Amino acid sequence: MEYVVKGRNPASVFRFFEEISAIPRGSYNERGVADYLEAFATARGLFCYRDAHENVLIKIPATAGLEHLPSILFQGHTDMVCEKNADVEHDFLRDPLKLYVDKKGFLRAKGTTLGADNGIAVAMMLALLDGEVAEHPAMECLFTTAEEVGLNGAHGFDYSKITARRMVNMDSEALGVITAGCAGGIRSDLCCTLHPEPFAGSALRISIRGLMGGHSGENIKDGRANANKLMGRLLAAARDFDFRIVSILGGSKDNAIPRECEAVLACADPDALADLFTEQGEAIARELSRDDLSFTLTCEDCEPEAMMSSREDTLRLTALLACAANGVQEMSRDVAGLVEYSRNLGVIRTEGDAVHAVFSSRSSMESRLDASIRELDALAAVTGCTAKHHSRYPGWEFSPRSALREAYAAAYRAVTGKDVIVNVIHAGLECGIIYSKLPDMDIISIGPTMQDIHSPNEALDLGATEVFWTTVERLIQDLSK
């Protein structure tokens, strides 16, 4: 496949991207890509350390005459968010991604997430280790795992293996932007035990489709609708009707804004209930942002199940979905336009005799994460659920001075003639964990332009990727002087 847009996209970067795209690498399924990385290092005689979490560290020595220069650490994660459209058949445990380039010069995958978040970092590090840059200081490349489900690989890595004190994280999604700080976060699981009863009445399937979704940190401020919360709104509107929840399924990742949600209900009067939901859907459609104009709500008869939840369980679940705080909770008082505190109800699903709700809360303030724990504990208590909180990770505080940041800004200016933008993001990055382990590390986070990560609309701008590679190449050359 041809990826060159304007000039010199290094063929090896996209060759490596194609190769890792053929390896299933969803979170907690990174063994295959770790095998690939280890074999890559072995074939080239490079130092390689692989741990029990499938994190891989590969080192390449400085080229002749540059041994005296301090080393550079490049870092990215191997796992990807596995999302697909409902009508697409794809097994993320076995099937390779189907890549294609659209007419606008964006790389995409057919009906699924692309995994450029963060596969493009993996491919670029492999190109660096493969000798794509002729002269360089010693370089260390850290490939971490389970980033998308709580930065778990980075949490478990032994940082005594790292000698560099300059780090380039390549997990950002906007060319010409240096990320210099990020939010911390925590995952919360609420479980509601059901008391099933024999099915009675008629079965009605309610389906919400067509929402944009997106990253629950970066896109939370964009006003995109959450399918799980919309389902809660529908069920709350029908509270006075005689219905029971049979099953519910919405979203698949806590860190992705859910695009779809489906519930099967047992009811005495399906026509009246469908009329109410249709009316509510029309009102919702008028409220949605431009991003969600493809929203659809359908109500259709379906085959009855053997069991249904009790009326009490139905009301508890309705209250949980309707009352859970979601979206932007607080904006920063110090940084214009920055979300300070948010929450995403990413997953709601029936499993056996229980319903699980999975939340992701984010803030750069630890006190707000503590408050989110208490709020969800209180919600769990009043709705008869149990709550568990896990995968907490620290934020990364902005530093007013950074020699590496200045060096990258100069390299970008030399390549493009433009100045960079420095920002702080409302999303988790492994930079926070690494900085907490190596507080003398000078860190920047950069990347090429991507769109709609964590959704099947994910796209990588090939022209921006070309500029990004050239800038990284220039940065290494400048740091080699």
The DSSP bridge partners found for residue 73 are 140, 167
CA dist 368 and 345 (Å) reads 17
Known catalytic residues are 79, 147
DSSP string, 150-209: TSHHHHH--GGG---SEEEE-----TTEEEEEE-EEEEEEEEEE---EE--SEEEEEEEE
CA dist 25 and 143 (Å) reads 12
CA dist 43 and 37 (Å) reads 10
Percent composition of the chain: helix, strand, coil (DSSP 3-state, to 5): 30, 30, 40
Q: SS3 for 257? A: strand
116 φ, ψ to 5°? Answer: -65, -25
CA dist 405 and 412 (Å) reads 11
Residues contacting 307, CB < 8 A, separation 6+: 196, 197, 198, 199, 246
- Other C-beta atoms within 10 Å of 40: how many? 18
Contact 73, 438 (CB under 8 A): no
Phi/psi class of residue 340: alpha, beta or left (left: φ > 0; alpha: ψ in -120 to 50)?
Answer: alpha
